[in-house]
Amino acid sequence: MRILIVYYSTYGHVHKMAEAIAEGVGQVVDAEAVLRRVPETLPEDVLEKMGAVDAQQTQAHIPVCTVDELADADAVIFGTPTRFGNMCGQMRQFLDATGGLWAQGALVGKVGSVFTSSATQHGGQESTILSFHVSLLHHGFVIVGLPYAFQGQMRIDEVTGGSPYGASTIAGGSGERMPSENELAAARFQGKHVAEIAKKLMG
């Protein structure tokens, strides 16, 4: 069973969450986690001005995803930073190239799930995931979130991401905060949960 984790990460926060998602997938028997990045759309000089080159290089070993790989997966878990309450432009451009898959109904019935990051605690994490779901529904995905069975999203003793819609992390205004252990635990839970649901649908 192939679980595709497709993400974009500017400064490494979503990348770190994607790795935790993959760990969760790996806890399910016969489930293989496959990490893929969406293509970069920003030129090198812009990335340099953003201070994102080093973070991009640490992800260079992750292959860039092709749209055909979506059709070959049994489930797809998408990761995107928040951009004004929506997915980032790189992810939007990648999804806009999936019209051929839509025409074929190639993704109908597959499990789809989303995780995200934002700079601030109330920076649009939930709206990013919910608006992402619209694209998944048009493709016929069966949407899976992060149920309250993950008790970490009930915590009030620390600032933390995570909601019933999916795992998330708070990066800080300058990207200074990496995912907390609670947020990584949420990502692992989501990866395992998606793989378990996909396995049930296949069986």
pLDDT one-digit tens code per residue, 23-76: 999 999 999 999 999 999 988 889 888 888 888 889 999 999 999 999 999 999
Residue range 73-83: mean pLDDT, rounded: 98
Burial (0-12, 13-18, 19+ Cβ within 10 Å), 101: middle
CA distance 199 to 203: 6
Report how many domains make up the chain.
1
135 is in an annotated binding site: no
Residue found by looking up tokens 């059709």 in the block: 71
122: phi then psi, degrees, rounded to nearest 5 = -115, 40
Is the predicted pLDDT of residue 105 greater than 90, yes or no? yes
12 is in an annotated binding site: yes
Measure CA of the first residue to CA of the last residue in the chain; give whole Å. Answer: 11
37 three-class SS: strand
133 is in an annotated binding site: no
Residue 163 DSSP code: B
83 is in an annotated binding site: yes
139 is in an annotated binding site: no
Residue 6 lies in domain: 2-202
138 is in an annotated binding site: yes
160 is in an annotated binding site: no
94 is in an annotated binding site: no
Query: What pLDDT digit, counting tens, does each position of 153-193 carry?
Result: 999 999 999 999 999 999 998 889 999 999 999 999 999 99
pLDDT score for 191: 98
CA dihedral 80, 83, 87, 93 (to 10 degrees): -100
pLDDT score for 195: 98
Residue range 111-126: mean pLDDT, rounded: 96
169 is in an annotated binding site: no
Average pLDDT score, the chain: 96
CATH number of the domain where residue 127 is located: 3.40.50.360
11 is in an annotated binding site: yes
pLDDT score for 169: 98
62 three-class SS: coil
pLDDT score for 72: 97
What percent of the chain has a predicted confidence (pLDDT) above 90?
Answer: 89
148 is in an annotated binding site: no
